[in-house]
Chain A
Amino acid sequence: MVELIDGSENVSVHGIFNWILLLTIFSVIVVIGNYIGYKHPIADSLIGMAILSLITLVGVWMERELPLNISSIIYISVIGIALAFPSMPTSDAIIHYVSQIELLSIVTVFLAYVGIGMGKSWGEFKAMGPRAIIITVLVIASTYLGSAVVAHVILTLTGVSV
């Protein structure tokens, strides 16, 4: 756990090169999965993934270069929302190409890496008792249901229909 929180390094050209290659590999796998699972055309999907990769790259770069203490997740969200904002000139093209990529295609590839990455923690996980598992399950279930119920109540109160 200590290695999780220690020094950081500055962006180098070498680093950006690595990011681009990794994003390219990821994009290709997603496009193949997207084609097999949902039959979306390969060319349009590739453009869609290129757009998403570019947004990610800019967000990740901003996190490291700008002197603000803001996570890349926030930058990426804001850039994505801004580019697809209905009155933006970019929005039609962005929405068209990005909609060729099913969310579930991205998630399926993403979770393959998560699965391999979680292998490292397996030894520690096996050492945990059943009580730890009970608490974890309760924490996740109540966090999820808590916000679902609150959201439902507010949506009903404000009269939102499906």
Chain B
Amino acid sequence: MTNNNDKTRVTHTYRNKTDKRILKKNPWKDYGLHITVLVLVIIAMVIGPMEITLTKGVTVSIMPLLYTMVLGLACYLIKQIKWIGKKQSKVAEGAMMLFIGILIAKLAVSSGQSIHLIFEMGPALLLQELGHLATIFIALPVALILGFKREAIGMTNSIGREPEVAIVVDKYGFNSPESRGIFVLFIVGTIIGTVFISFFTSICVSLLPLHPYAFAMASGVGSASMNAASLGPTIAAFPALETSIEAFAGFSNLLSFSISLYIVIFVAIPLTEKLYGFLEPKIGRKAIVNDGGS
């Protein structure tokens, strides 16, 4: 029944989660869940996108995708809505792993349609994956100043979604401080990541004079929902380039889920270790956090 267990453990976290939730239960029977989603989608689409001008020249666009997500979370948290509970939350999470496929398929069709772009801009696409390493140089020193110890290695080496969590747990062991660090990043990223990157992209797109394709490539940070949330404002800012932007996001995703994992294993984690060894004696604070909390 269970095949090649050691290998599946590392990269197939998505699969296991989906299968456990989808193969055993009959998730389509959760009418309450799907009807709630339908109602949220209708509300979001009727309201449509909003633009808020922060200061002169800086507009933040709030897309319908944020409404549905925040309302979805609210449905779970509001006790009066009894038909959305822990069980529905689990079903939604399992179903979401399947629905990522639709998103990826849509981006892939745009990529195939614009395949010439990869030949013209291959170098930029490949090298921007290395740009992800910036997190080590920016977040690691701050983590040390804030008093984190070896947790910082897990917290700052990458974006910390499922594949990276599996890599860190595999390397350091489940109960290590490094794994504790990436669990914290995973949980906080799950809750605030999508909303944050959507606002952050809006601000970057209106403030920074970078190439539109650069924003498109950058949106493939290695998380399907963050990618989607980041694409929203990018497409809103450059509507004429929609297909190309989707194409780059598609290519970038493909890279993030293949080459990037090896970059994390062979470059990011060793680099984080090195930098930690170098910086910790200089700016690390005296073990304030042995308990891992604050």
For A82-113 the 0/1 string (1 means CB < 8 A from B) is 11111000010011001101011111111111
6 nearest interchain CB pairs? Answer: A80-B108, A115-B72, A146-B134, A119-B76, A129-B294, A84-B112
Does the CB pair A80–B23 fall under 8 Å?
Answer: no
Does the CB pair A136–B193 fall under 8 Å?
Answer: yes
B152 to chain A: closest residue by CB: A135
Does the CB pair A149–B229 fall under 8 Å?
Answer: no
Which residues in window 167-202 of B have CB below 8 A to A? Answer: 169, 174, 183-194, 196-197, 200-201
Residues in B with CB closer than 8 Å to A101 are 106
Residues in B with CB closer than 8 Å to A116 are 33, 36-37, 72-73, 75-76, 84, 88-89, 92
Which residues in window 112-140 of A have CB below 8 A to B? Answer: 112-122, 124-125, 127-140
Q: Tell me, in angstroms, the Cα distance from A111 to B63 when the chains sit together.
A: 11
Question: In this assembly, does A145 line the interface, its C-beta being within 8 Å of a C-beta of chain B?
Answer: yes
Q: Tell me, in angstroms, the Cα distance from A95 to B113 when the chains sit together.
A: 7
Does the CB pair A132–B188 fall under 8 Å?
Answer: yes
Does the CB pair B45–A36 fall under 8 Å?
Answer: yes
Does the CB pair B7–A143 fall under 8 Å?
Answer: no
Does the CB pair B156–A139 fall under 8 Å?
Answer: yes
Does the CB pair A80–B103 fall under 8 Å?
Answer: no
Question: In this assembly, does B132 line the interface, its C-beta being within 8 Å of a C-beta of chain A?
Answer: yes
**Cross-chain contact of A73 among B2, B104, B201 (Cβ < 8 A):** B104
Does the CB pair A117–B112 fall under 8 Å?
Answer: no
**Cross-chain contact of B65 among A83, A104, A140, A145 (Cβ < 8 A):** A104
* Shortest beta-carbon distance from A96 to chain B in Å: 11
For A59-96 the 0/1 string (1 means CB < 8 A from B) is 11001100101011110111111111110000100110
Chain A residues proximal to chain B, CB less than 8 Å: 1-10, 12, 14-15, 18-19, 21-23, 25-27, 29-30, 32-33, 36-37, 49, 52-53, 55-57, 59-60, 63-64, 67, 69, 71-74, 76-86, 91, 94-95, 98-99, 101, 103-122, 124-125, 127-152, 154-156, 158, 160, 162
Residues in A with CB closer than 8 Å to B95 are 22, 26, 113
* Shortest beta-carbon distance from A142 to chain B in Å: 4
* Shortest beta-carbon distance from A1 to chain B in Å: 6
Residues in B with CB closer than 8 Å to A49 are 102
* Shortest beta-carbon distance from B203 to chain A in Å: 10
A23 with B8: in contact, given A29-B41, A107-B103, A160-B211 (CB under 8 Å)?
A: no
Does the CB pair A112–B37 fall under 8 Å?
Answer: yes
For B14-26 the 0/1 string (1 means CB < 8 A from A) is 1111111011001
**Cross-chain contact of A119 among B64, B77, B188 (Cβ < 8 A):** B77
B23 to chain A: closest residue by CB: A15
Q: Which of B50-58, B217-225, B273-281 contacts A (4 or more CB under 8 A)?
A: B217-225
Does the CB pair B210–A73 fall under 8 Å?
Answer: no
Does the CB pair B68–A84 fall under 8 Å?
Answer: no
Does the CB pair B159–A140 fall under 8 Å?
Answer: yes
**Cross-chain contact of B121 among A3, A67, A69, A160 (Cβ < 8 A):** A160
**Cross-chain contact of B196 among A1, A14, A23, A140 (Cβ < 8 A):** A140
Q: Tell me, in angstroms, the Cα distance from A20 to B19 when the chains sit together.
A: 13
Q: Tell me, in angstroms, the Cα distance from A71 to B250 when the chains sit together.
A: 15
Residues in B with CB closer than 8 Å to A129 are 293-294
B169 to chain A: closest residue by CB: A5
A95 to chain B: closest residue by CB: B113
Question: In this assembly, does B69 line the interface, its C-beta being within 8 Å of a C-beta of chain A?
Answer: yes
Does the CB pair A149–B131 fall under 8 Å?
Answer: yes
A29 with B38: in contact, given A56-B102, A139-B160 (CB under 8 Å)?
A: yes
**Cross-chain contact of A136 among B9, B134, B189 (Cβ < 8 A):** B189
Does the CB pair A106–B103 fall under 8 Å?
Answer: yes
Residues in A with CB closer than 8 Å to B222 are 143
Residues in B with CB closer than 8 Å to A154 are 123-124, 127-128
Q: Tell me, in angstroms, the Cα distance from A108 to B69 when the chains sit together.
A: 8
**Cross-chain contact of A133 among B26, B102, B192 (Cβ < 8 A):** B192
Does the CB pair B190–A121 fall under 8 Å?
Answer: yes
A135 with B148: in contact, given A69-B4, A84-B109 (CB under 8 Å)?
A: yes
Q: Tell me, in angstroms, the Cα distance from A25 to B3 when the chains sit together.
A: 31
Question: In this assembly, does B283 line the interface, its C-beta being within 8 Å of a C-beta of chain A?
Answer: no
Residues in A with CB closer than 8 Å to B174 are 1-2
